[in-house]
Chains A and B, each alone.
Chain A
Amino acid sequence: MTNVDTLQAQPRARAAVNRNQCLVELRHISKTFGGIQAVEDVSLSLYPGEVVAVLGHNGAGKSTLMKMLAGAYPIDSGEVLIKGRKVHVRTPAEAQRQGIETIYQTLALADNLDAVANLFLGRELLTRWNTLDDLRMDADARKVFQRLNKNFKNYHTPVRRLSGGQRQVVAISRAIYFNAQILIMDEPTAALGPEESAMVAQLIEQLKAEGVGIFLISHDMHDVFALSDRLAVMKNGQLVGTYRTHDVTEDEVLGMIIAGRKPADRVQAMRLAA
């Protein structure tokens, strides 16, 4: 198992992670798009070192909810608390400053730029003359890519020429390098082969061990049950329920996704441990 610490800009101080401090608390979040209620009064929390799967049909509002946390969409009403402090994430840059990193399903890569430029896009390292410090970025990027995938050598070809797995490495490397504390992963394994999916699963385990909180949007039931600690199901913009993953069965989850039916005799869990 590789050590993620050595990849980061500043190694995370493990002792500083207080596992009982709620990392993210979304309170009564709502959002409408031109009269359509995309997200309605959703409350959800995330603790350090846990993976919360966010499930639902296409259009259930899960991506919209996550994009609001990532600063890509403005929030109509509701509050976001990061480590107990109320924050406003109006832009992606503000979300990044709060330690929120997002790996979008589309990967959000500039296809005409190379892997190094994409890793640092929007947060380039600069020399003291405020010009791009390409050599330092190259050297740092090399280390991150090497750890994530030893075969990754195409640092300087436009990422459009890379394979799906390699593109995913570039997108993930952003979250690693910039020391994510809160990670949003939108369908991280949808475009990947089995080997690369295993790499992502291993990475999630490592990040959990480091105390990173992860929101995982996925359609893949296998991934959800293998990787998540809790799961939240959304339907028509509303939250159906939040449960510990090992408390529910796959059928019950499907029932929530498809019919919005809460499973009988199950206790909702706002956090993993009591």
Chain B
Amino acid sequence: MNQVLHGIQQSAIDWRMALMTSVLVLITVIFNILSDGVFFSPENLYNIAQQTAVVGILSSVMVLIIVARHIDLSVGAVMGFVGMLMAFLMYSAHWSWPAASLAGLAAAMAVYLYQGALTSLIGVPSFVVTLGGLMSFRGAAYLVSSGKTQPLTDPFFLSLGGGYNGGIGSTASWVLGLLLCAGIVFARVTNRRAKQRYEAPVHALWLDSVLALIPCALVIGLVLVMNAYHIPNKDDAQGLPVPVLIWGGVALCMAFLVRRTRFGRYIFAMGGNPDAAALVGIPVRRVTLLLFMLLAVLVTIAAMVAISRLNAGTSSLGNSLELLVIAATVIGGTALAGGTGSIVGSVLGALIMQCIDSGMLLLDVSIGTRYVVIGQILIVAVVFDVAYRKWTGDVQQ
């Protein structure tokens, strides 16, 4: 028993993540009971998954921005502007969707090159730069088409947002899910072998197995649920929704950046101690600028998913989205002081927020009450964060 306990303590299990997962499970179970089982219906879970995608994509990069001691208040507005531009080019200018998307990417890059240069090269606080950006690009989103809604029709592009034709079907979902599981197991095994080669301590075999099986079980579970959602007049089940796949792909890429690349490590170092980062020779300005470019790419992806979900570009696209994104990031355990945060946390944070919101919607809670509750949950998350850091000794007092 003692050995088992020691193994658990030594393991890479993040207790904070484990706790957040429990909170998520608890919330969903409560909603399921209150809604007489509707919450756990495949249809509801499918909708929640695809609704969370836009906030999830953006909060996975917001983690890095906040870790690096910056903030982006303009995500929602820039996403609105870029989304509107892409929809305008497709509908009013008759561009193909790849051309319009590339143009959107170019616009996002230009916007964040401007904001990123002001922040990293001139040293204007990103709070101010992006607060200005929030107003300007909200206005720009309106200017693109003088506020006229731009409907979308391209069937492939519309599948990016999920919805009726936005699932990949049951067979493809199984193939993808099993491939992912194989990847997870393979990664664990190679990591274990490499550690043994370097004579570094490895986890007990049972623990490594559990650590590989948990994510596999989650993937299989997701596939099962999504394959159980069957729209009555369709032959096949929906399967995994495309926006969720995009979100998953983005989250994997971001996690890779954080854990396996210099870029990710430098961002954390800059957030932990900016002076030290400069003194050890990290090119702080260049890394900051690159970070804003990465943000531009993800905002473009989020904009594509968002306009496709709406089947149109509207000038109100992404209104007050920055608040949801920052809230999801903070609920996911990213400290506004910088230096700490994780991609898994951002996924959980986005899910917790969306589940609470959708759950209340299901129970016919009024919009006013919903905002009150979500606001207070943000406070609870930050209070917990502060208490947790004191408990682990990461902050004094």
Interface residues of A (CB under 8 A from B): 70-72, 91-93, 96, 102, 104, 106-113, 117, 121-124, 126, 130-132, 135-136, 138-139, 158, 160-161, 174
Contact status B393-A110, CB under 8 Å? no
Residues in A neighbouring B278, C-beta threshold 8 A: 72, 92
Q: Does B280 contact A (CB under 8 A)?
A: yes
Given contacts A110-B269, A161-B393, contact A131 B260 (CB under 8 A): yes
Q: Are the C-beta atoms of B273 and A108 separated by less than 8 Å?
A: yes
Q: Does the CB pair B265–A124 fall under 8 Å?
A: yes
The stretch among B135-143, B152-160, B191-199 that forms the contact with chain A is B191-199
- CB-contacts of B277-302 with A (<8 A): 277-283
| Interface assignment of B162: CB less than 8 Å from any CB of chain A | no
Instruction: Give complex CA distance A121, B267 in Å.
Output: 11
Nearest residue (CB) in B for A138 is B200
Taking A121-B280, A122-B281, A158-B394 as known contacts, 16 extra A-B pairs with beta carbons closer than 8 A to each other, sorted by chain A number, are: A102-B279, A109-B276, A111-B272, A113-B269, A113-B272, A121-B265, A122-B282, A123-B281, A126-B262, A131-B261, A132-B260, A132-B262, A135-B197, A138-B200, A139-B199, A161-B393
**Min CB–CB distance B360 → chain A (angstroms):** 35
- Residues of B whose CB lies within 8 Å of any CB of A are 194-195, 197-200, 259-262, 265-266, 268-269, 271-273, 275-283, 339-340, 393-394
* Cβ contact within 8 Å between B272 and A110: yes
**Residue of A96, A112, A138, A158 most packed against chain B (CB within 10 A):** A112
Minimal Cβ-Cβ distance residue in B for A102: B279
Q: Which of A93, A111, A121, A174 has the largest number of chain B CB atoms within 10 A?
A: A121
Chain A interface mostly: loop
Chain A residues contacting B200 (CB-CB under 8 Å) are: 135, 138-139
Contact of A124 among B197, B259, B262, B393 (CB under 8 A): B262
Please pick, from B194, B262, B265, B393, the residue contacting A113 in the complex, using a CB distance under 8 A.
Answer: B265
Contact residues in B for A123 (Cβ distance below 8 Å): 280-281
> CA separation between A124 and B263, bound complex, in Å?
11
Q: Roughly how many angstroms separate A104 CA and B260 CA in the complex, as a whole number?
A: 28
Q: Which residue from chain A places its CB closest to the CB of B341 in the assembled complex?
A: A112
Q: List 26 A-B contacts (CB under 8 A).
A: A71-B281, A92-B278, A92-B281, A93-B281, A104-B279, A107-B276, A108-B275, A108-B279, A109-B273, A109-B276, A110-B273, A110-B277, A111-B272, A112-B269, A112-B339, A113-B268, A113-B269, A117-B265, A121-B269, A122-B277, A123-B280, A123-B281, A130-B261, A132-B265, A136-B198, A139-B198
User: Shortest CB–CB separation between residue A167 and chain B, in angstroms?
Assistant: 11
Q: How far is the CA of A58 from the CA of B277 in the complex (A)?
A: 24
- Write the nearest CB–CB distance from A10 to chain B, whole angstroms: 19
- Contacts A110-B272, A121-B269, A135-B200: A72 and B279 contacting too (C-beta < 8 A)? yes
CB contacts (< 8 Å) of B271 on chain A: these are 112
* Smallest CB separation, B190 vs chain A (Å): 11
* A108 in complex: contacting residue of B195, B260, B276, B283, CB < 8 Å: B276
A108–B274 Cα distance when bound, in Å, is 9
Which residues of A are found within 8 Å of B269, using beta-carbon distances?
110, 112-113, 117, 121
